[in-house]
Structure 1
Amino acid sequence: MSANGLWLVTARDLKLAGRRRVEALLPLAFFLIAASLFPLGVGAEPSMLRQTAPGVVWVCALLAAMFSLNTLYATDDADGSLDQMLLCGQPIMLIAAGKALAHWLLTGLPLVVASPVLGLLFDMQPQAIAIMALSLLLGTPVLSLLGSVGAALTLGLRGGGALILLLVLPLCIPVLIFGAGAVVMVDAGLSAQGHLSLLAALLLLALLAAPPATAAALRISTS
């Protein structure tokens, strides 16, 4: 089983995103703007900011990751590109994995890179900022993989964006809990190893289960 399909689909999506740079930057802009508004609402008390930072950053990251899921397959389905990819002879599972990888590179990775800026805004300690970035690095790929399944299941349905949120958000709650919990543990002077290990386990599980599930959903949605 060749991995060419995965890399070709990923490169194609990245190239298309490069032609629509403003649209590609919307999740990152939402992440930064939404998270930066919270200090204005809760006040500038450093202890309050540090206490709310993990939950605020992770909730904003989760919503930003959901931002572009509605068009993950819908655009390709509308112009016929999806049918061509499914008929090209490459395993559908690798095509699904390539789409999820491109989504993470365009959405999840920028959130990881931008998270230290928000850490400074919330007056977080350097170790807490590092753990927050690491938790996002482990958790955001899970969001993309689960989101890919939801986007495939709702392909072609009216109101697909709302259905994706209803399907995917409950599945993402463990990622949110363990991601924010890792930072909370560091702030409390405890080890975050347990939470990070659980995030890594969720990532491994998503890598194994999400692409086959997405491939099956695509077969059903395009049949």
Structure 2
Amino acid sequence: MASELSVGSQVRALMRREFRVAMRQRSDLMNPILFLLVVVTLFPLGVGPEPATLARIAPGVIWVSALLSALLGLERLFRDDFSDGALEQMLLMPMAVEWAVLAKIIMHWLLTAVPLLILAPLLALLLNLPKEAWGTLWLSLLLGTPVLSSVGAIGVALTVSLNKGGALLSLLLLPLLIPLLIFATAAVETAATGLSPAGPLALMAAITVLALVLSPYAVHAALRVSVN
């Protein structure tokens, strides 16, 4: 019991540290949000303001924009810790490294996905998404964004020691995230037509559980390869 409490307190301490570091680099937090808003705002100007056209492309536009904006903020997940040596200290911590990785993933999700969830109704309104699908859009983002943070952490861990790993990171992650994108857009489109989106959402939930359970172990292995 004492060890469990110790692990819990260390995880909370790591999350508080991540939050303080993020608050000192607020521009890194704002850039993905601004990118998301700009991309979603530009689409009506590019394809035209016709409500039917915007409603048809809205699920894909919102999810592709969310995916690309998430990639912007991923690189800093381990970058600063690698630069100042904190990453090596994390690998030597008495607690399991997987717990430390999970703490970083959770905090990254809170800092990047929560603003997206707050902005989701505005994005749906800008793209004329039917109100019947708003709830499904929000739920798909809630289920899918942890996968972006979890799978993204694996990619960052593999490329953290590279000087310019941003382009390689995108090439690694985009193919892995295509199934999530397909199920998410299918769920929203299904809800917009009045049918039940339970099937795609259930598949998204399964992907999320697998990602959260397995990604800390994969990140730990990738960090050992990158740091050593």
Pairwise TM-score range, normalised by the shorter structure: over 0.9
Q: Which moved more, 1:148-157 or 1:121-130?
A: 121-130
Q: Which moved more, 1:139-148 or 1:88-97?
A: 88-97
In the alignment, which residue of structure 1 is the partner of 2:123?
118
Q: Read off the aligned partner of 2:50 and give its amino acid letter.
A: E
In the alignment, which residue of structure 1 is the partner of 2:85?
80
Q: 1:29: Cα distance to partner?
A: 1.0
Q: 1:17: Cα distance to partner?
A: 1.1
In the alignment, which residue of structure 1 is the partner of 2:12?
7
Q: Which moved more, 1:205-214 or 1:16-25?
A: 16-25
Q: 1:22: Cα distance to partner?
A: 2.3
Q: Which runs of 5+ in 2 are unaligned?
A: none
Structure 1 residue 20 and structure 2 residue 25: aligned? yes
Q: Is the 8 A contact 2:109 2:146 kept in 1?
A: yes
In the alignment, which residue of structure 2 is the partner of 1:48?
53
1:81-104 C-alpha deviation (Å, 9 max, x unpaired): 112222221211111111111111
Q: Alignment partner of 2:196: what SS?
A: coil
In the alignment, which residue of structure 2 is the partner of 1:209?
214
Sequence identity percentage: 45
Q: Is the 8 A contact 1:69 1:161 kept in 2?
A: no
Structure 1 distance, partners of 2:75, 2:23, is 19
Alignment of structure 1 residues 1-223 onto 2, 5 Å: 2-223=7-228
Q: Is the 8 A contact 2:101 2:216 kept in 1?
A: yes
Structure 2 distance, partners of 1:130, 1:37, is 24
Q: Read off the aligned partner of 2:124 and give its amino acid letter.
A: G
Q: Read off the aligned partner of 2:174 and give its amino acid letter.
A: L
Structure 2 distance, partners of 1:5, 1:145, is 20
Q: Read off the aligned partner of 1:80 and give its amino acid letter.
A: G
Q: 1:158: Cα distance to partner?
A: 3.1
Q: Alignment partner of 1:68: what SS?
A: helix
Q: Alignment partner of 2:75: what SS?
A: helix
Structure 2 distance, partners of 1:6, 1:164, is 26
Structure 2 distance, partners of 1:154, 1:58, is 25
1:104-160 C-alpha deviation (Å, 9 max, x unpaired): 111122111111101111122222111101100000100100000000011211321
Q: Read off the aligned partner of 1:138 and give its amino acid letter.
A: L
Q: 1:219: Cα distance to partner?
A: 1.3
Q: Alignment partner of 1:159: what SS?
A: coil
Q: Alignment partner of 2:181: what SS?
A: helix
Q: 1:214: Cα distance to partner?
A: 0.4
Q: 1:5: Cα distance to partner?
A: 3.4
Structure 2 distance, partners of 1:34, 1:18, is 25
Q: Is the 8 A contact 2:132 2:194 kept in 1?
A: no
RMSD of aligned alpha carbons:
1.2
